[in-house]
Structure 1
Amino acid sequence: MTPEGWTQTLTAGPLLGIAAGAIAVLLLLIIWLRMHAFVALILVSLLTALATGIPVGDVVPVMTSGFGSTLAGVALLVALGAMLGRLVETSGGAQVLADFLIGKFGEKRAPFALGLASLIFGFPIFFDAGLVVMLPIVFAVARRLGGSLLLYGLPVAGAFSVMHVFVPPHPGPVAATELLGASVGTVLAIGVLIAIPTWYVTAYLYGVFMGRRISLPIPSILGEADEEATANPPSFGTVVSLLLLPLVLIFANTGLDALRAAGAVDGDAVWVQAFRTLGQTPVALLITVLVATYVLGRRRGRSGTVLEKVLDSALGPVASVILITGAGGMFGGVLRSSGIGDALADVLGDLGVPVILAGFLIATVLRVAQGSATVALTTAAGLIAPAVAAGGYNAVELATIVIAVAAGSVVLSHVNDSGFWLVGRFFDMDVKTTFKTWTVMETLIGVMGFGLAAVIFAIA
C-alpha cells in the first residue's frame, strides 16, 4: 500500500542508491553478522521505509501490509501443504511413489521423472502449493538414491517456476495477456513451447550440474516415515489420487472461469460460486488434507490422537519458512510503496529500445526492485501496453511479447522475493547457497525464455 496523500519526491538516482544500500545491508546482516533472516528483514524494511521518506506514522502500516498480504497467499498453502506432505511421508506413501518412479525411469533418470511430474502438476497449481505437495516425494527419492538434494530439488522447483511464469492460467501471464490484447490460446501454446525446453536446460540440466558440485543433505523438515505405519503402506493409486485431488479441484475452478468468461455459464449462479470456492487453492488443499487424514490415517487403523500429533508436527518446522517468507514480502512491499520500482521503470522506458526488449528489461528492473514476479509482469505489461497497441502486431508477436515480459519478471530472484526464502528454507540452504542455486536458475530461466520468445517474434 502507498500512504494516502503522500507523494514520493526523491528522484530515481537517490531511490536506486537506497535500494542498493538496503540490499547490501541485508546481506551483510545475514551472511557476515549471522543475524536471523526474519529479524534482519524487519530491521532493513524499517530503515528503508524511513530512508525513502515514507511518513513516520505510515511506516508500520506499510510494513504490516506487505507482511500480511504475503502471508495471506503463503501461510495457508504452506501449512496445509506441509500437513499433507507429513501424512504422505509418515504413511510410507512418499516411498511408494519414489519406488514407482525409480522402477519406471531408472535411478539415473529419477531427477528427470520428478521434474516431468512437476511440469504436469504445475499446469493448474501455483508454484508454492505445488512445491510443498511434491517435497515429500523429492525427499524420499533423494534418501533412497543418495546424492545432493539439488540433483532432485532444482528440476522440481524449476518446473513449477516455468509453468507459473510462462503458462496461463497462472495469474501473471493471464493479466499480461489481457493488458496487451493477446490471445490466451496463443499465449498458452507458445508458453508451453518455450517452458519445456527452458525447463530442460535451465532446471533439469542445471540441477544435475549443481547437484554434482554442491553437496546438500536431505532436510528433516517434513520428518521421517513411521516404521509401524509403513509396514503396510498405501497403494500407488491411492497416493497418486490424493496428490491429484487438489489439482483436479483447482483445474475445475480454472475451467469454470474460462466458461464464465466465454458466457457459457452464469458466473453469479450459486452452484458456480460454490464450485469455484471448492477450487480455490487453500480450500482444495484443506479438502485434500481431510481426505488424506481418513484414507492414510483412520482407515488404516491410526488413532485420532496419533493423527493429531502427526499434523501438529508438520507445523513447527514450517513456521520459520512462513514467517521469513512473510518478512521477505514486507521488504518487497516497502520497496513498492516507496516508488523505487516505478522510478526505475520510467527511466528505462525512456531509452527507446524495441518493445519486446523494453518489456523484458522493465520487468527485470521491477523484479529486482520489488521482488514479486506477478507485480513485475503486470506492471511492465501496463507500461508498454500503449506502444504495443500502436505497433499493429499479429497474434504470435503479441504472445511472444507477453512471454518476454514474463521472462523478465523471473530474473534475479533475491532477498526481496518471497520465493527466494521459501525455496531456501525448505531446502535448508543458507543465503549464499540460495544465491548460487535458486537465483542463478531463475535468471537462466528468464534469459533463455526471453531468447526463445525473441527468436519466435523475429520469424513470426
Structure 2
Amino acid sequence: MPLVITAIGILLLLFLIMKVRLHTVLSLVVVSFLLALALGMPLSDIVASIEEGFGSTLGSTGLIFGFGAILGKLIADAGGAQRIAMTLISKFGERRVQWAVVLTAFILGIALFFEVGLVLLIPIVYQMSKQVNIPFLYLGLPMATALSVTHAFLPPHPGPTVISEQYGANIGLVLIYGFIIAIPTIIIAGPLYTVLARRIAPTAFENKKGGTITSLADVKQYKLEDTPGFGISAFTALFPVILMGASTIVTLIQQSSGVTSNVFFEFIDLIGSPTTVMTLSVLLAIYTMGIGRKIPISKLMESAETSVKSIGMLVFILGVSGSLKEVLIDGGVGDYVAEIFEGSTISPILLAWLIAALIRLAQGSATVAALTTAGLVLPLIQNVDVNLPLLVLATGAGSIIASHVNDTGFWIVKESFGLTMKETFATWTILETIISVSGLVFVLILNMIV
C-alpha cells in the first residue's frame, strides 16, 4: 500500500501542476499534506515533518545556491563568462563546443556538488550557446550529465564517500573504477542521448528556451579586449573546485596515514565545506571581477542583489520539494521497500542497484536511497565474495535512476532550463535513467575483468 499511495500522490501532483495549473509550490505543499495523511502519519507529526524537510533542504542548499548565483552573476557582468566561452569555442571549434562543455563540467563536477556546479556553469554555457547560436539545452543536457555522473560515482561526493565507509571499500579504488565507468556513461547519456532527446522533445531545444538561472548570464556583450583575461576569469570560476579539491586531498592523506585530527585538520574541514567555499569564492570575485578592475562596490552589490532575486522562486520550490521527500521518508515508504528484499539471494551487485533504484523512485533523494541501501545490503555481504568498490558504484548507479517530482534535482533542472513538466520528463528523467542503467552495465562488465 505505501507504494500505491505514493504513486497516487505523484499522479495527483502532476495533475495539479499540468492540468489545474496550480503553482508548483502550492501543489507540492498540498500533496505533501495529503500523502502524510494517506500514509498514516500521526496528525501531530505532519506539520513538523513538512517544516523539517523544508528547513533541512534549504539549510544544505540555500546559502550555496545564493552565493553560487552571486558568483555566476559577478563573472557574467564583468565579461568573464563571455571570455571563458569565447576561449573554449576558439580552442575546440564551434562543431566540438559540446565536448568543451562536457570536459569543463566533468572537471568542475569532481569537486563541486551538483547544485553548485549547475549554478556556476549555466551562465558560461548560456553565453556559449548564444555565441555559436545553438539551443541552450543542446549544451545544457551534456553539462548536467557530467555533473550528475560525478555526483553518483566519484568521491568526494557524499554518496560514494559515505557508502565506501559503510561497505569498508577502498575509496581509492572506488575513485579509479568510478573514473572508468564515468567516462563512457557521460558520453552515452550526454552528447549521444542529446541527439535523441532533440527528436523526442523538440520544443525543449528552442533557441529562446531559458530558465531562472539563465538570467544570470543575460548581460550585454563586450568587446573581447574589454573583458577580464581568460586566466583570471577561469581561476575565479574554478576557485570553488580548487578549495574543495585541496581540502579533500588533505583529508584523504590524513585518513590514509592515520593521523589524529587537530586544529589544522579542523581548519581544513572548515575551509573545504561548501558554504565556506562559496563565501570565499564570492569575496574573491568581488575583487577580481570588480574592485581590481575599478568597478564601484555599489555596482557589484547591485549585481549580487539582482542574482538572488532571480533565483528566489527556485529556492522556494527546492524547499517544498524537500518537504515532500521528508514526508515519504517519515511515512515509512523507504522502509517498506527495504522489507521487500529481506532474505533475498540475488547477486549483491544487482541487489544493491535494485534496492537503491526502488527507494529512489519511492522517496526521491539519491543520498537517502544510497545510504538506506548500504544499511540493508551490508548484512547480506558478510559471507559473500563481492568486489566492494564495484558494490559502492552499483549502489550509486541505482540511487539516481528516473529523477521525477519527488527529487529536488528534477525541479532544479526544470526551472534552470525553463522546461515544462513534459519536457523535463522527456529529457532529464530519461537521461538519469540512462546514467543509472549504463552505470550498472559497466559495473557488471568491470566485475568480470577485475
TM-score range, shorter chain: over 0.9
* In 2, Cα distance between equivalents of 1:178 and 1:313: 42
Q: Decide whether aligned partners of structure 1 residues 57 and 230 sit closer, same or farther in structure 2, where only a CA change above 3 A counts.
A: farther
Supply the AA of the counterpart residue of 1:302. I
**CA deviation map 1:218-250 (0-9, x unaligned):** 424215224579772100001111012111111
How much does 1:263 deviate? 4.1
Which one of the candidate residues 219, 227, 235 is aligned to 2:229?
A: 235
Which one of the candidate residues 382, 393, 396 is aligned to 1:403?
A: 393
Which one of the candidate residues 207, 223, 247 is aligned to 1:253?
A: 247
Q: Number of matched residues?
A: 443
Instruction: Please name the residue that 1:148 is paired with.
Output: 135
Give me the TM-score of the superposition, normalised by structure 1. Answer: 0.93
How much does 1:265 deviate? 4.1
Which one of the candidate residues 433, 436, 447 is aligned to 2:437?
A: 447
Q: Decide whether aligned partners of structure 1 residues 66 and 77 sit closer, same or farther in structure 2, where only a CA change above 3 A counts.
A: same
* In 2, Cα distance between equivalents of 1:231 and 1:56: 63
* In 2, Cα distance between equivalents of 1:290 and 1:24: 44
Contact 2:83 2:224 in 1 (8 A): no
Q: Decide whether aligned partners of structure 1 residues 25 and 189 sit closer, same or farther in structure 2, where only a CA change above 3 A counts.
A: same
Supply the AA of the counterpart residue of 2:418. D
Q: 1:279 aligned to 2:272?
A: yes
The 5-angstrom pairing of residues 27-426 of structure 1 reads 27-211=14-198, 213=202, 214-216=204-206, 217-219=208-210, 220-226=214-220, 232-263=226-257, 265-267=259-261, 269-393=262-386, 397-426=387-416
Contact 2:353 2:399 in 1 (8 A): yes
**CA deviation map 1:418-443 (0-9, x unaligned):** 01111111111121111111110000
Q: Decide whether aligned partners of structure 1 residues 25 and 102 sit closer, same or farther in structure 2, where only a CA change above 3 A counts.
A: same
Q: Decide whether aligned partners of structure 1 residues 209 and 176 sit closer, same or farther in structure 2, where only a CA change above 3 A counts.
A: same
How much does 1:36 deviate? 0.8
Contact 2:141 2:194 in 1 (8 A): yes
Contact 1:186 1:399 in 2 (8 A): yes
Contact 1:90 1:230 in 2 (8 A): no
Q: Decide whether aligned partners of structure 1 residues 320 and 167 sit closer, same or farther in structure 2, where only a CA change above 3 A counts.
A: same
Q: CA RMSD in A?
A: 1.6
* In 2, Cα distance between equivalents of 1:383 and 1:58: 26
Give me the TM-score of the superposition, normalised by structure 2. Answer: 0.95
* In 1, Cα distance between equivalents of 2:46 and 2:198: 42
For structure 2, the residue ranges without an aligned partner over 5 or more in a row are none
Q: More displaced, 347-356 or 19-28?
A: 347-356
Contact 2:318 2:408 in 1 (8 A): yes
Contact 2:126 2:217 in 1 (8 A): no
Give the ranges of 4+ consecutive aligned residues of structure 1 lying more than 3 Å apart after TM superposition: 211-214, 226-231, 263-266, 348-352
Supply the AA of the counterpart residue of 2:439. G
Contact 2:82 2:221 in 1 (8 A): no
